[in-house]
């Protein structure tokens, strides 16, 4: 397995995970796939103008395994993701997706991807911190334990979710 920065060059791996290998088993059909690909590419290209890489994508034998995607907080908020209120708005990245292809062990791959992020924080300078809206219970989507395990701290505790953050070293 190889983990690559999420860039224009690896965007097709991300799109394949989302549109062909989603763990829910629900994937679009026919022309919906191409329309989804077109719309997502346009949005991610906009994100890549602000932050590069926009996360990481893991692949094995040419196919997607896992994805950790992030974007500037204002983009995440505008797109409806859980964001925090602390820190400097223009200096905060938000993790919006941590996903694993349906044939792989979710918990193990989540650990691998968040560990990879934690070891490569310097790639995301000049941003000062990364946040994620996570859930304190063990759920399939953004479980807080995987982020806390890799140095994220609770910045906001809400009824159902927490906002966890990690500082990007200077």
pLDDT tens-place string over residues 87-120: 888 999 999 999 998 788 889 999 999 999 999 9
In this structure, is residue 123 part of a structural domain?
yes
Mean pLDDT of the chain, nearest integer = 88
In this structure, is residue 166 part of a structural domain?
no
The CATH number of residue 44's host domain is 3.40.630.30
Lowest mean per-residue pLDDT among 31-35, 64-68, 112-116, 123-127:
31-35
In terms of residue numbers, what domain contains 95? 2-128
Per-residue burial over 144-169, b = 16 or more CB atoms within 10 Å of its CB, e = otherwise: bbbbbebebeebbeeeebbbbbbebe
């Amino acid at each position: 397995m190889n983990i690559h920065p999420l860039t224009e060059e690896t965007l097709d791996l991300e799109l394949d995970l989302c549109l062909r290998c989603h763990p829910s088993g629900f994937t679009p059909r026919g022309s919906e796939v191409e329309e989804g690909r077109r719309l997502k590419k346009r949005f991610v290209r906009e994100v890549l103008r602000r932050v590069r890489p926009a996360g990481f994508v893991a692949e094995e034998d040419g196919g997607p395994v896992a994805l950790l995607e992030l974007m500037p907080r204002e983009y995440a908020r505008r797109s409806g993701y859980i964001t925090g209120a602390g820190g400097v708005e223009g200096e905060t990245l938000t993790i919006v997706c941590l996903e694993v292809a349906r044939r792989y062990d979710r918990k193990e791959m989540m650990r691998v991807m968040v560990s990879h992020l934690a070891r490569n924080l310097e790639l995301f300078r000049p941003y000062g911190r990364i946040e994620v809206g996570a859930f304190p219970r063990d759920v399939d989507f953004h479980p807080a334990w995987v982020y806390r395990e890799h140095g994220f701290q609770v910045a906001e505790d809400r009824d159902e979710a927490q906002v966890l953050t990690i500082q990007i070293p200077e």
